[in-house]
Chains A and B, each alone.
Chain A
Amino acid sequence: MDPDIPLWLMVIVLAVVIPVLAGLLKGVLKAATSIPPKIDAIAGVAAAASKDLDAVVILLTTQNYISQITGSVLNYGGSLNVALPDY
Chain B
Amino acid sequence: MVLGKIASALALLTPLAAVAAPAIDGEVERQAVNPTAIVMFLIFVAATLAITWWAARRTRSSKDFYTAGGEITGLQNGTAIAGDFMSAASFLGITGLIFLGGFDGLVLALGAFSAWPLMLFLLAKRVRNLGSFTFVDVVSMRLDRTPIRIVALLGTVTVVVLYLIAQMVGAGKLIELLFGLPYNVAVISVSILVLAYVTFGGMLATTWVQIIKAILLITGVTICAFLVMKEVGFSIDALLAGAADNHPRGMAILSPGVLFRDPVQIATILVSMMFGTLGLPHILMRLFTVPNMHEAKKSALYASLFMGYFYLAIIVLGFGTAYLLYNNPQFFDAQGKIIGGSNMAAIHLANAVGGDLLTGFMSAVSFATILAVVAGLTVSGAAAIAHDLYAEVLCKGKPDHKTEMRLTRITTIAIGIIAVILGILFQNENVAFIATMPMVVAASVNFPILFLSLFWSGLTTRGSISGALVGLVSSVALIVIGPQVWVSVLGHEAPLFPYNYPALFTLPLALVVTWSVSVSDRSERGKVDRDNYHDLLIRSEFGPQDGVLEVARH
A pairs with B: no
A contact residues vs B (CB 8 Å cutoff) = none
